Structure 1
Amino acid sequence: MTTLDRLTADLTASMKARTAFQTNTLRQMIAAVRTAAKAGSVARELTEEQVQAVLSAEVKKRRESAQIYMTAGAGERAATETSEADLIESYLPVALSIEQLGVIVSDAIAATGATTIKDMGKVMKVATASAAGLGRLDSKALSERVRSALTGAGEI
């Protein structure tokens, strides 16, 4: 069952259960996926990875909104945004742990023979490819780990 199918099935179940919060959030997610599918000159069907990318972007938007609401003193709105982000994250694969990232980075450095920061592109390419099937990859965290490993600033 694809993520979009799961969203649709869970929407139907939440509508029957009359859970307004979950229903509204799922409707927003389905709408975001459909909007992404229609973006561009030709409508297309999104792959599973593209659907997950859309959902990841929605999580990021909600986390940023929650932070802004907390700064502005609107705690209730921040809590709602955080709850929505948590619900959306339940449809995404589990993110890679710090330990897994470290292993991927050290393996990629060994495979490429990288020694300086100039080799970062090669290492990132290999690390991203090896992490593809393991779970959700945080590219920023991976980049930071590779940079610190190549500069010798920290542990892998």
Structure 2
Amino acid sequence: MTLRERLQEAMKDAMRARQPDRLSTLRLINAAIKDRDIAARVDGAAGMVTDEEITAILGKMVRQRAESARAYEEGGRLELAEKERAEIGVIEDFLPRQLSPDEIEAALAAAIAEVGASTIRDMGKVMAALKARYTGQMDFGAVGPMVKDRLG
């Protein structure tokens, strides 16, 4: 079952179970995917985005909501921050399992060895290898400095 199909089934289940908050988040996810589908058609591609692209969309949505939750907390709007966190929980149900710190270290070592990286100039190659294999399973914003430390 593709990620798109899993999302559709989850939306139907949320409707049946009368879960308005979950349903609202799932509809936002579907809207973002449809926007990307439309953009792909305009660019001349064949229509529907892949599971990898959907995973990237979901990752971006999680980051946006985490940022919003932080801003709401700083502004004293705890009920809105909690709503954002609940949306993150729904979105994360469809993302691959996040790697543990030990697994990230092992993935870094493997990627560095695979591309033969030795200097900071090879950082792009290492990041490309990691993104090809671990999209959605690690935060590349946090991994970038780790790669830089190893190569620097």
Identity percentage of aligned residues = 36
In the TM superposition, 1:62-141 aligns within 5 A as: 62-129=65-132, 132=133, 136-141=137-142
Q: CA deviation at 1:138?
A: 2.2
Which of 53, 58, 63 is the equivalent residue of 1:60? Answer: 63
In the TM superposition, 1:19-38 aligns within 5 A as: 19-38=19-38
**1:5 match:** 5
Which whole-Å deviations, capped at 9, do the CAs of 1:1-53 have from their partners, x for residues lacking one?
11111111111111111111111111111111111111252571010101111
Q: Distance in 1 between matches of 2:23 and 2:87?
A: 11
Q: Distance in 2 between matches of 1:126 and 1:25?
A: 32
How many residues get paired? 149
TM, length-normalised to structure 2: 0.86
Q: CA deviation at 1:135?
A: 6.1
CA contact (8 A) 1:112 1:122 kept: yes
Q: Distance in 2 between matches of 1:52 and 1:135?
A: 6
CA contact (8 A) 2:59 2:136 kept: no
Which whole-Å deviations, capped at 9, do the CAs of 1:82-106 have from their partners, x for residues lacking one?
1101110110001222212211222
Q: Distance in 1 between matches of 2:126 and 2:54?
A: 27
Q: Which has the larger radius of gyration?
A: 1
SS of residue matched to 2:69: helix
Look up the equivalent residue of 1:148 and give its one-letter code.
D
Q: CA deviation at 1:109?
A: 2.8
Look up the equivalent residue of 1:9 and give its one-letter code.
E
Q: Distance in 2 between matches of 1:54 and 1:82?
A: 17
Structure 2: runs of 5 or more not aligned = none
Q: Alpha carbon RMSD of aligned pairs, Å?
A: 2.0
Q: Distance in 1 between matches of 2:16 and 2:112?
A: 52
Q: CA deviation at 1:113?
A: 3.9
Q: Distance in 2 between matches of 1:45 and 1:134?
A: 19
**1:147 match:** 148
CA contact (8 A) 1:56 1:92 kept: yes
